[in-house]
Amino acid sequence: MTEATQTGQLMEVPKGVSLWQDAATRLRKNKLAMFGLVFLIFIILLCLITPWIAPYGYEEQNLRLGATSPSAAHWLGTDIFGRDMLTRILYGGRVSLFVGFIATAVALVIGVTYGAIAGYAGGRTDSIMMRFVDILYAMPFMIFIVLLMVVFGRNILLLFLAIGAVEWLTMARIVRGQIQNLKHQEFVEAAVSIGLSSFAIVWKHLIPNALGPVIVYTTLTIPSVMLLEAFLSFLGLGIQPPSSSWGLLISNGVESMEEYPWLLIFPGLALTLTLFALNFLGDGLRDALDPRSSGD
Amino acid sequence: MKSLLEVDNLAVHFHTRNGLVKAVDGISFKVEAGETTAIIGESGSGKSVACYSLLGLIPKPPGKIESGSALFDGKDLLKLSERELRKVRGKGISIIFQDPMTSLNPFLKVGTQLIEPLQLHFGMGKKEAWAKATSVLEEVGIKNADKRMDSWPFEFSGGMRQRVVIAMALITEPKIIIADEPTTALDVTVQAQILKLLKDLQEKRQIGVLFISHDLSVVADIADDIVVMKDGKFVEQGSRDDIFERPQHDYTKKLLNAVPTAQKPPSESSAKPLLVVNHLCTQFSSNTPGEIIKAVQDVSFTIERNEVVGLVGESGSGKSTLGRSIMRLVRPHSGSVLFDGREMTEIEGKNLKDMRRRMQMIFQDPYASLNPRMSVYDTLAEPILLHKIANKKGLDKEVFRLMDSVGLARESVLRYPHEFSGGQRQRIAIGRAISTKPEFIVADEPVSALDVTIQAQILDLLLDLVSEFDLTMLFISHDLGVVRYLADRILVMNEGQLVESGTTDAVLNNPQQLYTQTLLQAIPGKSLVQNSQELS
Amino acid sequence: MWRFIGWRFAQSIPVILAVITITFFLVRLAPGGPFSSEKAVSPQVQAALEAQYNLDQSMPQQYISYLADLARGDFGPSFKFPGRSVNELIFSGLPITAELGFYAMLVAVFIGGLAGVIASLKPNTMQDYGPMGLAMVGICMPSFLLGPLLVLVFGIWLDWLPVSGWGSSSGDKILPSITLGAMYAGYIARLSRSGMLEVMSQDYLRTARAKGLPEYLVITKHALRGGLLPVITYLGPAFAGLLSGSFVVETVFQIPGLGRFYVQAAFNRDYTMILGTTTFLATLIIFFNLLSDVLAAWLNPRLRYQFKKKT
C-alpha cells in the first residue's frame, strides 16, 4: 500500500477493501461491541484525568458527615469516614485498569514471543517448549498467587508478574497454533519460493495474519486479569490501603452493606460494567476478525 | 409409465441481509424408475439447493420456496408438512452426500447409524434391523460386514465410507436416490468403482437416481437425461445424446468445449536438459513416533528446455512432495536435483535466492496461496523488488505489464484477494510466478479447485505464457484429461515411485504398466473423448 | 485406554512434586517466622518450639523429612492451632467444601449446559440473547460481589434465606452454591452454545435429517455428544476455579470449609497449614484435570480407538 499510493498513475485506481477495513466495518455494525468500546474509552478517559476532575480529595475525610446516601454534593454518596465515593471509585478504577492493562501487556509480550518461537521453530524445540507450557498449565496457579502474596507481602509489582505469569500460557498456545497453521499455508510457501528471507516472511506474511486472534484474546485477558486482582484485593491479598481498587472498595462495601448498600453497589457496578464492556468488545472483535465469518 | 418424480417450475429464494438471492429460479425435471437424471452446473448454479429443497432440507429462513410443484407418489412434496416430509426423507427418497469424510457422525458406530432409518420408518427391532443392515453392507461390497458394523466411521477409507453412505441410503429401499456429487471427493480409481456400484444397484432395484454434478465427463458415462443449470436458471434439458452431440444453448456448448479433450500436438524438444532429477528420496517422520513416511522414493527423470511435462498420480502418490522437493520447499533426504547444471539440494543463501528467481511455483488453492492481507499490487511488487526486476520508478509499469499478461483488469490492482473470484485469484498467483521472469515453473494442480469453464481459461493462459516466455513446466495433476491437453510428456507416480514415463501419446494410448492402465480405465467420460476424436 | 490413563497419571506426578517443592521453599523463604507475632518468647521456649517443628534442622533436611511425612499421608502439626494436626483440619473442612463444590458444579453444568443448548437451537433470536445475556452477567459479576448482593436481596431485604452458615438452618446451602457456581455456569453456557453451533453446521447432521429423523432425535442423538465435548474438557479447569472460588464464598458466608481455613492460614502464617492445604488442593486439582481429560478422551471414539490399538 505504502509504495502504491506514492505514484501518480495509481491515484485514479479504486482502492480495495483490506481485511482490516472489512473487520472494522463489521465491528462498527455490532451494537454491543460498539457500546463496549465507547464505554471503555469513556471510563479510561475519566480515570486518566481523575486527579484534575475529582470533586474531592482522595483522602479527604469528613467524619462529621459520615456515610450518606447519594446527594447533589456527593453524587454517589460518602463512606463511613465521609469520603466521597465518586472520587474513590475513580481512583480505584485507575488502579484496577492499570493492573489489567499492565499485567495483560506482560502476558502478551511473554506469550507472543514464546509462542512465535515455538511455532516457527517447530520440531523438537516446539515439542519441548510446549510440553513445558503443558506442565505449567497443570499447576494450580490461583493457589500459588495467594501463596506468593502471603509470602512476599502485598506488592503491586509482584502482582503484575504473578498474574502475567499465569495468563501468558494461553497466549503462547494461541500464537503457536496460529503460526503452525500459517506456516503450512500455500502463501507462505509461495513467499519462500520467491526467495524471501525468513525475517521478511515472519514480518510481512506471518505476523499480520496471526494478529487477529491475538487481539481478540488480549481484549478478553484484560477482564480476567481485573477479576483476579479484584478477587485478591477482596481477600485482602491484593492492593493495600491507602491505595484502592474496585475489589478493595467492594470488600469495604460488604462490611457495611446492610446499613449503606450504595457502598457495595456503586463500586460493584463500576467493575461489572467495565468487565461487560471488555467482554462485549472482545466478542465483537472475535466475530469481526474470524475468517470463517468473513466468507459471507 | 408415470414418472417417479415430476418437478415443475421450482423456485427457491434466499432472503439474506444482503438482499434477495434467487438460488433456484424456475427449474423443471423428471426422474424415471431405473434411470438417471443428471443436473449439471458450476458452483453456485443452485443445483444442490434445488434438490435439497424438495425434501425441506434447506434452512428456512432465509430460504423460501417461492413457487412450483414436485409430484412424488401422488403428493406434492412442496406442500407437505414437516411431519409428512419426514416420512418421505430416508424412506421414499434418500440422499448420498458429497463428502463421505464428514457425512457420517464420528461419535456413533457405523451400525448404529445404518439401522436408524429402519427403526424409524419401519419400527423394526434392533436385532432385525442389525441383520438387515449387515446384508446391505455386504451388498455394497464391504467385506466382513458383520464385524464392520461395529466399527467407527474413521476406521474406513474415503471410498469405503462412501459405500457405507450408499448402504445407508439404500437400506429402506427408496424409490429415488439423490446423489450430490457423490464421487467428487474421491480418487479417480475409487470414483470408477463407486459409479459402477451405483449403476449396478440402480439397475437391480429399478431406482430413479437424481445425480448432481459439475463434472461433464462423469455425467456422460451415467446419465440418461440431463438438465443444465446456470445461476439458478434452467438452461436446457435433453437426453444424454442430445446434450452432448446436439447442444442447443451457448452455455452448454461452452461447458462442453471447456472439457479438455484435445491432445497437445507433439513439439520438437531441444534435447538440452534443463532439469535432471536423480534418485531423489524425500521422507517425513509421521505423527506416530518412529514411523517414517517415504513420500518420494528413488525418483529419476529429466525435463528438456521448453517442455511441458505432466506429473500424474492419485492423492498420496507423492507427486506434490516431488514438486516441492524440486523447488526446495521441502528438503530431499537423498538424491540430486540438477537445474541448468547446478545442484539444487545443497545450495544456500544468495545462491539459493538466485535460483529461486529462475524457478517458480503455482499452487493448487488460489484461496490459500495469496496472502489475504496484501493487495494485488503488493503481492506482485514483492518479488519484483526483491529480485530487482525493476526499480522503484519502473515498478508500476512492470506490475501493470504483468496484470496485462495474465488478463487482469488494471483497475483492480489495489484490491485484496478476497475481492476476487477463484479464477481471478489464480491469475494473480500466476502473475506472481512469472514476475521474476523464471525459466521453469512447477504448477501443482493449478486448476483443480476451479469451475470447468474457468479451468479451460486458465489452462489456455498457461499454454500462452509457456510459448510467450519460453517456459519449461512441470504440471502436476490428478486429471489425465487436463494433462493430455497441455503436456508433451507424462510421468505417472504411484505410492512414491515413478511407475511410467513417456510421450503423452505413448502413455495414454499404449500404457505399459498395470497401474497406468487401471488409471486410464477409471477416467470418466471416455465416450466423450472418443466422440471428439472422431469429429476432429 | 488404561495406557492413556497411566501415561497421564505418570505425567502428573512430577507436577505434584514440583508444587510441593516450590510451596515448601516459598514458605520457608517468607520473611518473619511463625512465632514472630507472639511477643517476647524466651530463647529456651523458642528453641523448644523450633525443635518440635523441626525448624532447627537445615533446610534440605527439613524438606526430606517433610516429604517422608507426606509419603505416609502426614501433613504434620499445625503451627497456630497447637495440638491439632493439619490432617485433622483438612478433613474437618473437606466434606463441607466438597459438598459446596458439588452443588456449585451441579448449578454450573446443568443450568449452564441447558442455557447453552437452548440458546444454540435458535441462534440470534431472543431465545439466544436471553440466556447468553444472563451468562455474560454470570461471567462479569465476580462471586465476591454476587454473594453479598444475593445476601442483601434474599437474605436481608426479602428475608427468604439464611445469610450464612452451612447445614445449620434450612436453605442455607442455596445462596453459597449459586454464588460459587454462577460464573462457571456462564462459561459453560457459552462453551456449550458455541460447541453446539459448531456441530449443528456439520454435514452429518444434514445426513441425520435426510434420514427423516425428527428434530429432537437429531439433537439428542447426533448433536449433543459432539457439541458438549468442549464442556467436558472444561470441567477440570472449572473445578480448579471452584476450589479457589470457595476461598471467597466460604469467607462471605462464614462456612467452615477448606477454603476458609486456607485464607486464615495464609493470614496467620501458619506454615504447615499453608503447606499442607496447598499440597492437598493442588493434588486435588491435578487429579480432577486428569479426570476430565480422561473423560473427554473416552467420549471421543477416535482417541479411545487409538489407545485401544496400542495396548
For residue C153, give the CATH number of its domain.
1.10.3720.10
Closest CA to B490 of B515, B512, B508: B508
Domain count for chain C, please give it. Answer: 1
Subunits with 3+ C-beta pairs closer than 8 A to B: A, C
Closest CA to B84 of B73, B100, B95: B73
Instruction: Verify whether the Cβ–Cβ distance A235 to C139 is below 8 Å.
Output: no
Q: Is B290 helix (H, G, I), strand (E, B) or coil?
A: coil
pLDDT digits (tens, 9 = 90+) for B331-356: 898 999 999 888 888 888 888 999 99
- Given a cut of 70, the residues of chain A with pLDDT beneath it are 1-12, 138, 153-154, 290-296
Distance between CA atoms of A81 and A89, rounded to whole angstroms? Answer: 15
User: Average pLDDT in the B20-43 region?
Assistant: 89
**Is the omega angle on the peptide bond into residue B153 within 30 degrees of 0, that is, cis?**
no
Q: Are B450 and B286 in contact (CB under 8 A)?
A: no
Q: Are B437 and B429 in contact (CB under 8 A)?
A: no
Distance between CA atoms of B344 and B349, rounded to whole angstroms? Answer: 12
Q: How many CB atoms lie within 10 A of CB B382?
A: 22
Q: Are B236 and B242 in contact (CB under 8 A)?
A: no
pLDDT digits (tens, 9 = 90+) for B58-106: 887 788 888 888 889 888 988 888 888 898 998 899 999 888 888 899 8
Give the torsion through C-alpha atoms of A248, A254, A256, A260, to 10 deg: 90
- C100 phi/psi in degrees, rounded to 5: -60, -45
Query: What is the reported pLDDT for B185?
Result: 81
Closest CA to A268 of A279, A252, A280: A252
Instruction: Verify whether the Cβ–Cβ distance C212 to B165 is below 8 Å.
Output: no
Query: What is the reported pLDDT for A6?
Result: 44
Distance between CA atoms of C47 and C41, rounded to whole angstroms? Answer: 10
- B89 phi/psi in degrees, rounded to 5: -60, 130
Question: Which pLDDT band, with edges at 50, 70 and 90, does C56 fall under?
Answer: low
Query: What is the reported pLDDT for A229?
Result: 85
Q: Which of A116-130, B259-273, B393-407, C174-188 comes out lowest in average pLDDT? A: B259-273
**Is the omega angle on the peptide bond into residue B273 within 30 degrees of 0, that is, cis?**
no
Window 176-235 of C, Cβ < 8 Å to A = none
Closest CA to A23 of B404, B241, B416, B198: B416
Question: Which pLDDT band, with edges at 50, 70 and 90, does C311 fall under?
Answer: very low
Instruction: Verify whether the Cβ–Cβ distance B413 to A187 is below 8 Å.
Output: no
Cα B201 to chain center, whole Å?
Answer: 25
Size of interface B-C (CB pairs under 8 A): 73
Distance between CA atoms of C192 and C183, rounded to whole angstroms? Answer: 14
Window 59-88 of A, Cβ < 8 Å to C = none
Q: What angle do CA C240, C246, C248 make, to 5 degrees?
A: 125
Grid cell at residue B510:
499404449
Length of chain B: 536
Does the pLDDT at position B272 exceed 50? Answer: yes
Give the torsion through C-alpha atoms of C42, C46, C47, C49, to 10 deg: 140
pLDDT digits (tens, 9 = 90+) for B196-212: 888 988 988 899 999 99
Q: CB contact, 8 Å: A293 with chain B? A: no
Does the pLDDT at position C39 exceed 50? Answer: no
Does the pLDDT at position B535 exceed 60? Answer: no
How many Å lie between the alpha carbon of C117 and the closest alpha carbon of chain B? 18
Query: What is the reported pLDDT for B453?
Result: 85
Residue % of chain C over a pLDDT of 90: 15
Residue that has been written with the C-alpha cell 412434496 in this structure: B77
Interface test with B, best of C211, C217, C218, C220 (most B CBs within 10 A): C211
Instruction: Verify whether the Cβ–Cβ distance A146 to C281 is below 8 Å.
Output: no
Question: Which pLDDT band, with edges at 50, 70 and 90, does C54 fall under?
Answer: low
Q: Which of A246-260, B110-124, B402-416, C112-126 comes out lowest in average pLDDT? A: A246-260
Question: Which pLDDT band, with edges at 50, 70 and 90, does C310 fall under?
Answer: very low
Q: What type of residue is B381?
A: A
| C5 lies in some domain | no
Distance between CA atoms of B100 and B159, rounded to whole angstroms? Answer: 8
Average pLDDT, rounded, for chain B = 87
User: Average pLDDT in the C293-304 region?
Assistant: 77
Residue that has been written with the C-alpha cell 454517589 in this structure: A76
| C124 lies in some domain | yes
User: Average pLDDT in the B466-483 region?
Assistant: 90
Query: What is the reported pLDDT for A294?
Result: 35
Query: What is the reported pLDDT for B531?
Result: 52
Q: How many CB atoms lie within 10 A of CB B35?
A: 17
Closest CA to B48 of B229, B252, B255: B229
User: Average pLDDT in the C77-85 region?
Assistant: 73
Window 370-429 of B, Cβ < 8 Å to A = 370-378, 381-383, 386-387, 392, 395-396, 410-416, 418-419, 429
Instruction: Verify whether the Cβ–Cβ distance B99 to C203 is below 8 Å.
Output: yes
Q: Which of B57, B120, B155 shows the shortest C-beta gap to C206?
A: B57
Q: CB contact, 8 Å: A108 with chain C? A: no
- C-alpha distance across the termini of chain B, in Å: 40
- C-alpha distance across the termini of chain C, in Å: 8
Instruction: Verify whether the Cβ–Cβ distance B95 to C225 is below 8 Å.
Output: no
User: Average pLDDT in the C143-157 region?
Assistant: 88
Does the pLDDT at position B269 exceed 70? Answer: no
Does the pLDDT at position C76 exceed 60? Answer: yes
Does the pLDDT at position B498 exceed 60? Answer: yes
Distance between CA atoms of A228 and B236, rounded to whole angstroms? Answer: 67
Question: Which pLDDT band, with edges at 50, 70 and 90, does C309 fall under?
Answer: low
Q: Are B47 and B229 in contact (CB under 8 A)?
A: yes
Range of the domain at C134: 91-268
Quickly name the fold that domain A82-293 has: MetI-like fold (1.10.3720)
Distance between CA atoms of B117 and B172, rounded to whole angstroms? Answer: 7
| C244 lies in some domain | yes
Q: Are A70 and A77 in contact (CB under 8 A)?
A: yes
Query: What is the reported pLDDT for B113?
Result: 92
| C27 lies in some domain | no
Question: Which pLDDT band, with edges at 50, 70 and 90, does B536 fall under?
Answer: very low
Q: B361 to chain A: which residues are within 8 Å by CB?
A: 189-190, 193
Mind giving me the DSSP string for B189-243?
A: HHHHHHHHHHHHHHHHHT-EEEEEES-HHHHHHH-SEEEEEETTEEEEEEEHHHH
Residue that has been written with the C-alpha cell 519462500 in this structure: A192
Distance between CA atoms of C261 and C93, rounded to whole angstroms? Answer: 8
Residue that has been written with the C-alpha cell 514415463 in this structure: B501
Distance between CA atoms of A229 and A245, rounded to whole angstroms? Answer: 9
| pTM passes above 0.90 | no
